[in-house]
Amino acid sequence: MITQTTSRLAAGASTDGPDRRCPILAIVVPCFDEELVLDKTARRLLELLQRLRVADQIDPSSFLYFIDDGSRDGTWAIIEALHQTDPASIKGLKLARNVGTQNALVAGLLSVKGRCDCVVSIDADLQQDEQVISTFLQKYREGAQIVYGVRGRYGTDSTAKQVASWFFYNLMLLMGARIVKQHSEFRLLSSKALEAIAEYRETNLFLRGIIADLGYKSEVVLYDARRREDGRSKHGLRKLASLALEGITSFSVVPLRLVAIFGALIFLFSCGMMVFYLYHRVMGHTPPGWAGTIIPIYFLGGVQIMFLGLVGEYIGKIYKEAKARPRYMKDQELF
> Average pLDDT, stretch 8-33?
70
Q: How many CB atoms lie within 10 A of CB 81?
A: 14
pLDDT in the model for residue 23: 95
- Least Cα distance to 91 among 134, 52, 49 occurs for 49
Q: Where does the pLDDT of residue 267 fall: very low under 50, low under 70, confident under 90, or very high at 90 and above?
A: low
pTM score of the predicted model: 0.74
pLDDT in the model for residue 210: 86
Say if residue 25's pLDDT is above 60: yes
Q: Where does the pLDDT of residue 251 fall: very low under 50, low under 70, confident under 90, or very high at 90 and above?
A: low
In percent, how much of the chain has pLDDT > 90?
41
Q: Which of 46-55, 72-81, 138-147, 206-215 has the lowest mean pLDDT?
A: 206-215
In sequence order, what are the residues at sequence separation of 6 or more whose Cβ sits closer than 8 angstroms to the Cβ of residue 332? 76, 93, 94
What separation in angstroms does the CA of 264 have from each of 100, 131, 257, 270?
Answer: 38, 53, 11, 10
pLDDT in the model for residue 81: 96
CA dist 159 and 137 (Å) reads: 33
User: pLDDT tens, 159-200?
Assistant: 666 676 677 777 777 766 677 887 888 999 999 999 999 988
**Mean pLDDT computed over every residue of the chain:** 80
Contact by Cβ (8 Å): 116, 89? no
Say if residue 285's pLDDT is above 70: no
pLDDT in the model for residue 7: 39
Classify domain 2-161+168-230+326-334 at the CATH superfamily level: Spore Coat Polysaccharide Biosynthesis Protein SpsA; Chain A (3.90.550.10)
